[in-house]
Amino acid sequence: MTSPRPDAPALTPLAPASIAKPFARYSHGIAVPAGYRLVACSGQLGVAADGSIPEDARGQADLCFANIAAILAEAGMKLSDIVRLNAYVTDRAHMKGYMESRDAHVATPPPASTLMIVSGFTLPEFKVEIEVLAAAP
């Protein structure tokens, strides 16, 4: 149980012994202390401000997290404040790149997380979309 900020109460990962352990680096649940603010981010695609789109899933996921970081910064939050993450990839082959990016960008304890394989996004170039819920004092 660690806190994203030293002066804040700890986020509590929820891991009941009665269910299987997570398949990867995520928490089954995260308890958010009373009094925290919440920020919900819409799904972010791997597109830069200039409209460029990286070709690989890792590059797109890294850009998704950069976009999310910018949104959270507007609310005075950081990526370490993410408590819930939903991610979508267009093929199982993109899971590795996405998961490497996720593991590089999320804090400990890792957020509650869902990963889904979908048929596509608004442009065929997109391989990854990520949406988050963040909480901070």
Per-residue pLDDT of 26-38, as tens digits, reads: 999 999 999 999 9
Q: What does the alpha-carbon distance between residue 82 and residue 127 come to, in Å, rounded to a whole number?
A: 22
Weakest mean pLDDT among 24-38, 42-56, 65-79: 24-38
Residues 6+ apart with CB under 8 A from 12: 1, 30, 31, 109
Model's pTM, two decimal places?
A: 0.89
